[in-house]
């Protein structure tokens, strides 16, 4: 610090230190859940509700909107209310929302806004497990974790602005700005573990079995392992210093230790009744994956990827990769003015400064299109990027990006071409068959086996493992007759 101050002058450093220390001291508040003092200077408790109300519509737009089931929404609010009544923020009105997303996730933002995806509801097995998720997210709010995250990020940004202006170096501003962005991306590991502790506290106070926290975390870990097998993403227990949550195995072991002596209700039957008929996987407004085809009934379009490629339907785009992840594609759409043609969009707006190896105008069915081939240097060699823009109606352009190693150009050229020309308008018969898969609650009959029950679900890779994960049967040789279980139909 002494050498740094000598280089730029001591004045800016003293100014920065004075501003940051002043903001820190003035912005500390008592953490209602722990009694500790926390920095929330840019988002004090009295402003949390307004912050949450302002950002709630943005969350809904980003994560697929609210799931359309009033009875399920009321049930979620009831379970959340049980926990809020025993938490440390009686001044705050909480809002609980089921998000129309297949992703297994839950999160909260300041102001009492708690979100759970239908993907997580499908994975949970009883009301106590749902309550463990809600309790964890309520814990983040009662402990002011969101307010701390927002305030620390804004404080870091303020410091970066002052220091950058003082020394006139964009590199320093960029470096500190990146730090602020990373801080805003996730809770710290300590905050996640504290929210686990608070969640178990609220479970016990509300009369739920606190061991539900450990059983749900075990299911989350098994689901992560299954997802890693399907997508080739790797081991979810691998340590990563930048991970947004502690490793699943770490949280599982800690939750089991905290709740070992607990007892209480789990309310399994009434939970299963609530999720009977819940949409599983993609919904019509998100489009469906059917084998190697992506089909979107609302937009009325579809396409098929090459053999050996696995499709992934994400909120921001659709992706597909081959088995060794050496080639892939991305698909999305964008709105444009009526006068923007496919070739004009590609050459002047999408890649205005690109040096195309080739550029062609063509037609995909009844639609005008344009495609261009680029080479891009990467740390692992040169890659081909083939861009394809397809104009559909006056305002929409569909976009494909095909990616492969340049040395594999001949290998994938025809495969990507077949995908491009598979883009089509869905027929009435196509649309009639595009109904969402749903969770169905069944009762095990004498003689039923894991294999016979899993065979009732739609065909797909690792179907038996999926059935086991959905029902928490990873170590069970056979289900007990009379037990109610979840299948997908």
pLDDT cut 90: percent of the chain above it: 64
pLDDT, mean over the chain: 83
- What is the tens place of the pLDDT at every residue in 192-239? 888 999 999 999 999 999 999 999 999 999 999 998 887 655 554 443
Q: Are residues 429 and 451 in the same domain?
A: no
Range with top average pLDDT, 149-163, 166-180, 314-328, 412-426: 412-426
Q: Same structural domain for residues 426 and 461?
A: no
CB distance 275 to 75 below 8 Å: no
pLDDT band at 98 (very low <50, low <70, confident <90, very high): very high
The CA distance from 82 to 70, in Å, is 19
Q: Which residues of 262-274 are buried (b: 16+ CB within 10 A; e: fewer)?
A: bebebbeeebbeb
CATH of the domain at 390: 3.40.1000.10
Is the pLDDT higher at 243 or at 273? 273
Whether 180 shows a pLDDT value over 70: the answer reads no
Statement to judge: residues 448 and 308 lie in one domain? no
Q: Is the dihedral of CA 121, 252, 153, 146 positive or negative?
A: positive
Spatial distance between the Cα atoms of 309 and 426, rounded to a whole number of angstroms: 22
Retrieve residue 118's tokens.
């239908």
Decide if 370 contacts 361 (C-beta within 8 A).
yes
Q: How confident is the model at residue 2 (pLDDT cuts 50, 70, 90)?
A: very low
Which of 240 and 80 is assigned the larger pLDDT?
A: 80
Burial class (CB in 10 A: 0-12, 13-18, 19+), 48: buried
In this predicted structure, what is the pLDDT of residue 195?
Answer: 92
C-alpha span between 270 and 126 (Å, rounded): 8
**Residue at a domain's end among 240, 275, 310:** 275
* Percentage of the chain modeled with pLDDT above 70: 76
The pLDDT-based confidence of 46 (bands split at 50, 70, 90) is confident
pLDDT at position 178: 35
Decide which of 260 and 372 is more confident. 372
Q: pLDDT: is 26 or 241 the higher one? A: 26
Q: What is the pLDDT of residues 47-91, one digit of tens each?
A: 888 889 999 999 998 888 999 999 999 999 999 999 999 999 877
Residue 363 lies in a domain: yes
In a shared domain, residues 183 and 161? yes
Query: Can you spell out the DSSP letters for 360-400?
Result: EEEEETTEEEEEEEEEEEETTEEEEEEEEEEEETTTEEEEE
Which of the two residues, 74 and 144, has the higher pLDDT score?
74
Low-confidence winner among 124-133, 456-465, 479-488 (lowest mean pLDDT): 456-465
Q: Tell me which of 249, 275, 301 is where a domain ends.
A: 275
Looking at the structure, tell me whether residues 448 and 427 fall in a common domain: no
Question: Does residue 248 fall inside a structural domain?
Answer: yes
For residue 25, pLDDT beyond 50: no
Q: Is residue 9 part of a domain?
A: no
The answer on 75 and 48 residing in a single domain is yes
Per-residue pLDDT at 244: 42
The neighbour count for residue 338, using CB atoms within 10 Å, is 9
Residue 200 included in any domain: yes
**Claim to verify: residue 56 and residue 35 sit in the same structural domain:** yes
User: HSE-up of 263 (CA within 13 Å, CB side)?
Assistant: 0
**Largest pairwise CA distance in the chain:** 82
Is 259's pLDDT higher than 90? Answer: no
Q: Do residues 96 and 56 share a domain?
A: yes
Query: Are 429 and 300 a contacting pair, CB within 8 Å?
Result: no
Q: Which two tokens stand for residue 436?
A: 């969402």
How many CA atoms does the CB half-sphere of 33 hold within 13 Å? 26
Domain count, the chain: 3
Q: How confident is the model at residue 51, as a pLDDT? A: 87
Lowest mean pLDDT among 186-190, 401-405, 482-486: 186-190
Residue 20 within a domain: no
DSSP designation for 47: H
Residues 307 and 383 in one domain: yes
At residue 405, the 3 state secondary structure works out as: strand
Clarify whether residues 188 and 69 are in a common domain. Answer: yes
The residue count of the chain comes to 489
Task: Give the per-residue pLDDT at 168.
Answer: 40
If you average pLDDT over residues 235-255, what whole number do you get?
49
The reply to whether 454 and 424 lie within a common domain is no
Containing structural domain, residue 400: 288-433
According to the model, what pLDDT value does residue 146 have? Answer: 77
Query: Quick one: 213 and 353 in the same domain?
Result: no
On the question of pLDDT at 150 being above 70, the answer is no
The continuous run of DSSP H or E covering 11 comes out as helix 10-26
Question: 459 lies in a domain?
Answer: yes
Residue 7 lies in a domain: no
In a domain, 23, yes or no: no
What does the pLDDT look like over 26-38, one tens digit per residue? 456 666 666 666 6
Q: List the beta bridge partners of residue 329.
A: 320, 402
């Amino acid at each position: 610090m002494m050498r740094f101050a000598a280089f730029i002058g001591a004045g800016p450093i003293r100014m920065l230190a004075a501003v940051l220390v002043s903001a820190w001291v003035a912005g500390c508040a008592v953490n209602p859940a722990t009694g500790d003092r926390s920095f929330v200077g840019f988002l004090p408790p009295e402003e949390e509700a307004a912050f949450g109300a302002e950002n709630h519509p943005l969350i809904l737009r980003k994560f697929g909107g609210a799931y359309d089931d009033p009875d399920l929404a009321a049930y979620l609010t009831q379970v959340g209310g049980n926990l809020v009544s025993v938490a440390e923020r009686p001044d705050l009105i909480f809002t609980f929302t089921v998000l129309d997303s297949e992703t297994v996730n839950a999160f909260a933002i300041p102001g009492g806004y708690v979100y759970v995806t239908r993907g997580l509801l499908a994975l949970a097995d009883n009301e106590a497990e749902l309550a463990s998720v809600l309790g964890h997210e309520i814990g983040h709010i009662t402990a002011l974790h969101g307010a701390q995250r927002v305030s620390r990020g804004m404080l870091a940004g303020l410091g970066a602005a002052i220091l950058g202006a003082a020394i006139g170096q964009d590199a320093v501003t960029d470096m500190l700005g990146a730090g602020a962005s990373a801080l805003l991306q996730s809770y710290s590991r300590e905050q996640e573990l504290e929210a686990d502790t608070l969640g178990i506290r609220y479970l016990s106070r509300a009369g739920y079995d606190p061991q539900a926290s450990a059983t749900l975390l075990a299911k989350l870990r098994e689901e992560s392992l299954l997802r890693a097998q399907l997508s080739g993403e790797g081991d979810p227990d691998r340590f990563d210093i930048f991970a947004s949550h502690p490793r699943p195995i770490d949280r599982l072991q800690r939750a089991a230790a905290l709740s070992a002596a607990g007892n209480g209700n789990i309310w399994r039957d009434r939970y299963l009744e609530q999720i009977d008929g819940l949409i599983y996987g993609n919904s019509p407004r998100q489009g469906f994956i059917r084998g190697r085809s992506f089909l979107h009934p609302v937009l009325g379009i579809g396409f098929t990827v090459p053999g050996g490629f696995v499709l992934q339907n994400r909120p921001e785009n659709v992706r597909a990769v081959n088995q060794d992840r050496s080639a892939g594609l991305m698909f999305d759409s964008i709105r444009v003015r009526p006068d923007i043609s496919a070739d004009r969009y590609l050459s002047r707006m999408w890649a205005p400064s690109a040096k195309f190896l080739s550029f062609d105008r063509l037609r995909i069915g009844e639609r005008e299109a344009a495609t261009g081939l680029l080479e891009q240097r990467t740390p692992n060699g040169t890659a081909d990027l083939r861009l394809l823009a397809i104009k559909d109606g006056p305002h929409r352009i569909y976009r494909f990006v095909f990616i492969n190693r340049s040395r594999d150009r001949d290998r994938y050229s025809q495969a990507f071409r077949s995908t491009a020309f598979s883009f089509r308008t869905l027929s009435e018969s196509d649309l009639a068959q595009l109904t969402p898969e749903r969770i169905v609650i069944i009762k095990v009959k004498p003689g039923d086996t894991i294999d016979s029950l899993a065979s009732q679900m739609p065909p797909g890779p690792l179907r038996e493992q999926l059935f086991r994960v959905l029902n928490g049967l990873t170590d069970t040789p056979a289900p007990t007759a009379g037990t109610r279980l979840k299948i997908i139909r």
